Amino acid sequence: MKLLPDWIALACLKILGALSLLYHIKLPPSQAFNYVHTRLWQFVVGIYVHRSTLVTSSNTGSDAISTDKYADKRTYLYYLAGVFCTSFFVFLPLDSLIIRIISTFLTAGLILYYPHNEPLFTSSKYMGYLGNISYSLYLVHWPIFIFFKQNYIDDFVEQVLRLNELFTSADTYYLYYAKCAYRRGKFGAPWGWCDLPSKSSTPKRKILVIGNSYATNQGRLVYEMCRGSGVEVKIFTIPACEVLAKSTQYEHCTKSNERFLKVVHKYKPNVLFILVRYTDMTEIPESNSTTTIENVVKEASAILSTIAQDTSDHIFILDALPKPQISFMRLKSLAISSRKTIRPITLLNATSGVEIGRRRLAQVVSTCSKCSMIDYAPVFTFNGTFYFYEPDTDVAFMNGLYHFTSLGLHRLRPLFKDTCDSIGNFSKRLN
């Protein structure tokens, strides 16, 4: 006994199929692929096709079609042409969702519109055998595929996403360095002075790291790669303030240059590292004149000259780095979760003025005989493009606040090791 008229049942099926397809499109790929309610639309399409074929068969009186004979040659040519055309989907860069929808409706159309008044290749017993074999293999391989996909592939992707998110959400925590003894100061830890363990109370070589959050983030590499008997390392940082330029974005940076100069003058290091994330140096518009030196270069050269007087051996200055877009973490996370590739160049901030900053810094360093540059760019450049993520695993080199992650710092260790090994070439005080 029917509870509902046919037209109401079909209307309910249409609504159910439409909602299922909507979920299939809107949900993340892993959920759209695995959840039952997101795949119901395919069953609804099958029900409609089956119902339509029954109606067609009753209207044409073709209930007794023989399926044991081959179709004529013309029918075979049609199907071969169809197979040939659909095979191009393999080579087209289409999204898996689009391919899944197209293939479902193409299959439905093939079943729905085949001529019922003649035997067909698709209705032959040989195609039935092939279909049964295919379905049997499907029943075996599908659970295995889902097991590996959910427990290894999807799990790895989720771990990468959580790890990259943690790098940003716990940024302040990761700026702390366990080996630092932080002095009480205006901004509190991890800013200001960081005193690191030393094996000697009378060090032969004193190394100082100064800068903004980059010195807080990367200064530990100087300590880990340069430490040794007779070596003392200290770090001094002021948040968001540059050393060689007058930072105008924050009020507490208006006199930061003077504080950096006083720190260097008081400590009088043998070796100085200036690790800074540049803002004003890269964002102040470049002068159109090719004959006069820009004011920002003049000011930076004057500051560096004063610093050089209080540094006996050598000064290492970090070069300007490419900057990412503000939303680069969100864009990359969406690409990872949807299994899409995103070109690394699209994550770069095209208006950051990094090339301007590098030209200015080159001019400034050229005025200092005991100064040289440290450049991170070659470490994170692959195939001519600067990467913010590890190309193979998608684990971030840099977090959403533009600080280097644990993986990024690990990549920098060989660079700092080589730099520390070269310090002896500049030393004047070692025996």
pLDDT tens for residues 219-256?
999 999 999 989 999 999 999 999 999 887 889 998 99
Kindly tell me if the per-residue pLDDT of 159 is higher than 70.
yes
Compute the average pLDDT of residues 104-129.
67
Q: What is the pLDDT of residue 32?
A: 74
Kindly tell me if the per-residue pLDDT of 68 is higher than 50.
no
Q: Which one has a higher pLDDT value, 70 or 331? A: 331
Three-state helix/strand/coil letters over the chain: CCCCCHHHHHHHHHHHHHHHHHHHHHCCHHHHHHCCCCCHHHHHHHHHHHHHHHHHHHHHCCCCCCCCCCCCHHHHHHHHHHHHHHHHHHCCCCCHHHHHHHHHHHHHHHHHCCCCCCCCHHHCHHHHHHHHHHHHHHHHHHHHHHHHHHHHHHHHHHHHHHHHHHHHHCHHHHHCCCCCEECCCCCCCCCEEEECCCCCCCCCEEEEEEECHHHHHHHHHHHHHHCCCCEEEEEEECCCCCCCCCCCCCHHHCCHHHHHHHHHHHHCCCEEEEECCCCHHHHCCCCCCCCCCCHHHHHHHHHHHHHHHCCCCEEEEECCCCCECCCHHHHHHHHHHCCCCCCHHHHECCCCCHHHHHHHHHHHHHCCCCEEEECCHHHHEECCEECCECCCCCCECECCCCCECHHHHHHHHHHHHHHHHCHHHCCCCCC
Residues 329 and 285 in one domain: yes
What percent of the chain clears pLDDT 70, i.e. is strictly above it?
A: 80
Q: Which one has a higher pLDDT value, 212 or 32? A: 212
The CATH code of the domain that includes 372 is 3.40.50.1110
Residues 306 and 339 in one domain: yes
The pTM for the full model equals 0.69
**Across 52-66, 106-120, 130-144, 192-206, least confident range:** 52-66
pLDDT band (50, 70, 90) for residue 71? very low
Give the end of a domain, one of 116, 150, 184. 150
Residues 370 and 232 in one domain: yes
Compute the average pLDDT of residues 186-207.
93
Give the end of a domain, one of 120, 150, 180. 150
Residues 185 and 142 in one domain: no
Compute the average pLDDT of residues 353-367.
95
Residues 216 and 145 in one domain: no
Q: Which domain holds residue 373?
A: 171-425
Q: What is the pLDDT of residue 49?
A: 77
Residues 178 and 317 in one domain: yes
Residues 344 and 286 in one domain: yes
Q: What is the pLDDT of residue 67?
A: 43
**Across 13-27, 125-139, 257-271, 307-321, least confident range:** 125-139
Residues 337 and 284 in one domain: yes
Average pLDDT, the chain: 84
Residues 92 and 192 in one domain: no
Residues 133 and 229 in one domain: no
Q: Which one has a higher pLDDT value, 145 or 334? A: 334
Kindly tell me if the per-residue pLDDT of 125 is higher than 80.
no
Residues 184 and 282 in one domain: yes
Residues 145 and 188 in one domain: no
- pLDDT digits over 382-411, tens only? 989 999 999 999 999 999 999 999 999 999
Q: What is the pLDDT of residue 26?
A: 81
Q: How many domains does the chain have?
A: 2
Q: Is residue 189 part of a domain?
A: yes
Q: What is the pLDDT of residue 92?
A: 58
Q: Is residue 160 part of a domain?
A: no
Q: Is residue 164 part of a domain?
A: no
Kindly tell me if the per-residue pLDDT of 100 is higher than 60.
yes
Q: Is residue 431 part of a domain?
A: no
Compute the average pLDDT of residues 66-74.
47
